[in-house]
């Protein structure tokens, strides 16, 4: 069994997958689309990856504001969640994604990734942080 982590954005979705022991999260890819509301290919690719990696559950980043209020992207995220559940038949768990993009950016800077190249990695690294946070929580039994 594996768990998939997703960082859902307006034009990209970062994807991470856990190992079979549910200990670590690894970056897989960034799914890109031309327009925010063109999601058919995005859903199809997520379905393919879920089957390929034998995913049992999906963890989706939940875009809360720093003051714990709900952000403007909440509605789109909830709609994305519902469609994912309907299309994949998998449980989709929402996970607070505050600071994951900042952590991803910091990690890329510390790894000496050039500024112009960071964009291609940032979403899948953010997905790793979302998924790893969830994996760490379930390990503790909370």
Contact 119, 32 (CB under 8 A): no
User: Nearest 5°: phi and psi at 13?
Assistant: -135, 115
Rounded-to-integer distance, Cα 95 and Cα 77, Å: 11
pLDDT at 140 (0 to 100): 74
Rounded-to-integer distance, Cα 83 and Cα 78, Å: 9
Query: What are the 10-residue block averages of pLDDT along the chain, 142 residues in total?
Result: 93 95 95 86 96 97 71 85 96 83 70 70 85 89 60
Handedness of CA 100, 106, 107, 109 (dihedral sign): positive
Q: What does pTM read for this prediction?
A: 0.85
pLDDT at 118 (0 to 100): 63
- What beta strand segments (E) does 1-130 contain? 2-8, 12-18, 25-32, 55-62, 91-96
pLDDT at 104 (0 to 100): 67
Rounded-to-integer distance, Cα 127 and Cα 49, Å: 14
pLDDT at 97 (0 to 100): 80
Please, what are the domains in the chain?
2-139 (3.30.420.140)
pLDDT at 82 (0 to 100): 96
CA angle, 107 then 111 then 114, to 5°: 100
């Amino acid at each position: 069994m594996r768990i998939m982590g997703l960082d859902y954005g307006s034009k990209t979705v970062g994807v991470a997958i856990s190992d079979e022991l549910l200990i670590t999260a690894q970056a897989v890819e960034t799914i890109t689309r031309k327009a925010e509301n063109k999601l058919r290919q995005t859903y199809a690719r997520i379905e393919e990856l879920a089957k390929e990696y034998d995913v049992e559950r999906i963890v989706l980043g939940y875009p809360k504001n720093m003051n714990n209020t709900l952000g403007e992207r909440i509605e789109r995220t909830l709609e994305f969640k519902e469609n994912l559940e309907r299309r994949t038949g998998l449980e989709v768990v929402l996970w607070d994604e505050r600071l994951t993009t900042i952590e991803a950016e910091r990690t890329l800077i510390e790894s000496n990734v050039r500024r112009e190249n960071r964009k291609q990695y940032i979403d899948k690294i953010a997905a790793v942080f979302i998924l790893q946070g969830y994996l760490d929580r379930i390990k503790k039994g909370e």
